[in-house]
Amino acid sequence: MIPKPHTHRNAVPYRPLDWTGIYPPVFTGPVPTHVALVMDGNGRWANRQGLTRIEGHKAGEAALLDVVAGAIQAGVKHLSVYAFSTENWKRSPEEVRFLMGYNREILRRRRDQLNEWGVRIRWAGRRPRLWASVINELHYAEKLTAGNSTLTLTVCVNYGGRNEIVDAVRAIAEEVASGRLRPAAVNEKLLQKHLYVSEMPDVDLFVRSSGEQRTSNFLLWQSAYAEMVFLDTLWPDFTRVSLWRAIELYTSRTRRFGGAQDAPEQA
Ligand code: IPE
Ligand code: IPE
Ligand code: MG
């Protein structure tokens, strides 16, 4: 039984799903089922205005909520967001401490709102080093929203793509060593079953804000055939419209998955 964490009294007022009164464009192709999102650029956004990096992180909360709302409006079923990487422990103790507490507080402040929207919250990441209070909030939010199916929001905290694969391989090795599994039974499907969220589908669209063009170890296994979209917008300036722009770029791409198709020039 997971104890109920205390409820945040000064919760930011709820906003309806269509609070801006704006609606997604008509997309020219199927909307991605699974969008992965690297929420990057908080520090640069803050420093450009003479603010501390921490102020930048604080400004990212509204962006996240708006993007979740926009994902629901667009019909995206899975949204995975990079909140804290296994590499982010390299930051100053003050920033790490802030980010830990901040992840915990956002979950507290927003879980009821997300629950009302039909969002199912999941956690992907590693336990070691992660604050117990953050793990408790993640588990509580997972339980609270377990029955929802509008959108699955996977919050990746203390997440690293290589670590995820290593953890899966270790679990499989233990099953083999104990004689419960034959090495010949190890295949892609089995490895996927041992990832942090085994039901997570492959990433269709991988979006990163802030202009950086790298994965930074996010969802390596799941993004093998993702379409990459890099937008210059810094995360605190990101909105649902930015997400829709990324989806429009996605729908303009031709996905081949290694296959081939003739594309004759239009006369
Ligand atoms: C992303 O913004 C947030 C986290 C990594 C938690 P950054 O803090 O990386 O911002 P920049 O990249 O330094 O601008
Ligand atoms: C990736 O951003 C991690 C998160 C957004 C949580 P970083 O800012 O940590 O990545 P690098 O250092 O630019 O690769
Ligand atoms: Mg960054």
Domains of the chain with bracketed CATH: 34-252 (3.40.1180.10)
pLDDT tens digit sequence for 175-229: 999 999 999 999 999 999 999 999 999 999 999 999 999 999 999 999 999 999 9
pTM strictly above 0.95: no
Q: Which residues of 112-131 are buried (b: 16+ CB within 10 A; e: fewer)?
A: bbbbebebbbbbbbbeeebb
Q: What are the CA-CA distances from residue 92 to residues 39, 43, 89, 184, 194 (Å)?
A: 19, 13, 8, 45, 33
Asked if residue 157 lies in contact with residue 84, where contact means CB atoms within 8 angstroms, the answer is yes
Asked if residue 159 lies in contact with residue 82, where contact means CB atoms within 8 angstroms, the answer is yes
Gyration radius from the chain CA atoms: 19
Residue 183 CA, ligand 1 centroid: distance in Å:
41
Residue nearest to atom 3 of ligand 2 (CA): 85
Confidence class for position 10, pLDDT limits 50, 70, 90: very low
Mutate to test the pocket of ligand 2, among 47, 86, 87 (most ligand atoms within 8 A of CB): 87
Strand pairing of 78-85 and 205-208?
unpaired
Confidence class for position 261, pLDDT limits 50, 70, 90: confident
Distance of alpha carbon 191 from alpha carbon 113, whole angstroms: 34
Closest to 212 (Cα-Cα) out of 243, 227, 237, 233: 233
